[in-house]
Structure 1
Amino acid sequence: MTKRAIIVVDFQNEYLPTGKLPLAGLEQALTNAARLIDTARTGGDKLFHIRHEFAQPDAQVFVPGSDGVEIIPAVAPAEGEPVVLKHSPNAFRGTNLQQQLEEQGVEELVIIGAMSHMCVEGTSRAASDLGYAVTVVQDACATMDLEFQDTKVPAAQVHATAMAALAFAYATIASTEAYLAG
């Protein structure tokens, strides 16, 4: 067994085209994520699945008990793979993720999922701050268009900005092909 874990962040139905927050590039991200998950399972890496729900009873998205909070079947956990429930962008905040990683002797994290600019970035930064070696597989992540004041930011630019920020000081950024070849 390796000291590496794949953290699969929030690949949930809410992000599908039929969900309330459809993401750009989700289909390709899921295809790449499924390859990484299969490789982890056969290679002995640990897998941790993260699932988001809002704790507020008046939440409009990620409502507990709704179909939107279910993990997308293409990347669903296998029997025995832990699923960590979170209520904030950072998968470490208010969860037992760090404790589970420590119990498994994990030192290196590979992070994939949704959304690049929010939960992937928040979890990656926290992981780095906690001392983990972090790799983000950028093409196994997806995000959405954003707007700030009067500026519309296309998803590709949102994603690139998030990856550039992480690459500056928090994580190694890799493609699926480069990661699998390494």
Structure 2
Amino acid sequence: MSKQALIVVDIQNDYFPGGRWPLSGVDAAADNAARIIAAARSAGDLVVYIRHEFTRDDAPFFSPGSEGAHLHPKVQNLPDEQVILKHHVNSFLETNLATVLERHAIEDLVIVGSMSHLCIDAITRAAADLGYKATVIHDACASCDLEFNGLTVPAAHVHAAFMSALGFGYARVVSTEQFLA
């Protein structure tokens, strides 16, 4: 039995063009995530999907029960693949993710999804704190422009800064091609 699991974080409709919070490069990231999912399935690895919903109807995106909160068709789970609902940035917080991973004796996590600067950062840091060995597939993650103190930070710079920080102290950060090689 494999000790590795793929965690597919928040690849949901609202992050795509036409959604309520579109991300930069989300289509290419989802295409790469789909390749990683196919490889994990082929290897017999556990694949776990994380789906975020806010708890209030007036949320900026991922409103409860909305079409925008559904998993995107590019990365749809199979019937036997678990989808964990979360209400916080950290996928471990108030969910059964740790229990699922423990039940399968998982030691290594491969992480893909959105947003690089929030949920990917949070799950990766939490995973490291919990003793998991983490790998983030950087080109299977997406982000958006951010604003700080009157300065707009382009999505590519946001993504690069967070991947750099994660790679410095929390995870191995590689491309889809490097991971699949």
TM-score by length of 1: 0.98
The alignment covers a number of residue pairs equal to 181
Instruction: Give the distance between the partners of 1:149 and 1:86, measured in 2 at CA.
Output: 30
Residue of structure 1 in register with 2:30 after alignment: 30
Which SS does the other structure have where 1:51 is aligned? strand
Tell me which amino acid in the other structure corresponds to 2:149: Q
CA shift, 1:56, in A, is 2.5
Instruction: Give the distance between the partners of 2:93 and 2:23, measured in 1 at CA.
Output: 24
Instruction: Give the distance between the partners of 2:98 and 2:5, measured in 1 at CA.
Output: 12
Residue of structure 2 in register with 1:5 after alignment: 5
CA RMSD of aligned residues (A): 0.7
CA shift, 1:61, in A, is 1.4
Residue of structure 1 in register with 2:153 after alignment: 153
Residue of structure 2 in register with 1:94 after alignment: 94
CA shift, 1:110, in A, is 0.3
Instruction: Give the distance between the partners of 2:165 and 2:60, measured in 1 at CA.
Output: 29
Instruction: Give the distance between the partners of 2:25 and 2:57, measured in 1 at CA.
Output: 30
Mapped pair 1:73 → 2:73: yes
Which SS does the other structure have where 1:58 is aligned? coil
Which SS does the other structure have where 1:90 is aligned? coil
Q: How does 1:1-182 map to 2 (within 5 A)?
A: 1-181=1-181
Q: Percent identity?
A: 52
Tell me which amino acid in the other structure corresponds to 1:35: R
Which SS does the other structure have where 2:51 is aligned? strand
CA shift, 1:95, in A, is 0.2
Gaps of at least 5 residues in structure 1 are none
Tell me which amino acid in the other structure corresponds to 1:78: L
Instruction: Give the distance between the partners of 1:66 and 1:79, measured in 2 at CA.
Output: 21
Instruction: Give the distance between the partners of 2:122 and 2:10, measured in 1 at CA.
Output: 12
Structure 1 runs, 4 residues or longer, greater than 3 Å off: none
Instruction: Give the distance between the partners of 1:64 and 1:175, measured in 2 at CA.
Output: 33
Gaps of at least 5 residues in structure 2 are none
CA shift, 1:58, in A, is 3.0
Instruction: Give the distance between the partners of 1:81 and 1:162, measured in 2 at CA.
Output: 28
CA shift, 1:149, in A, is 1.4
Cα deviations by residue, 1:20-77 (Å, 9 ceiling, x for unpaired): 1101111110111110000111111110000000013432311011111000011010
Instruction: Give the distance between the partners of 1:73 and 1:59, measured in 2 at CA.
Output: 22
Tell me which amino acid in the other structure corresponds to 1:141: C
Instruction: Give the distance between the partners of 1:21 and 1:60, measured in 2 at CA.
Output: 8
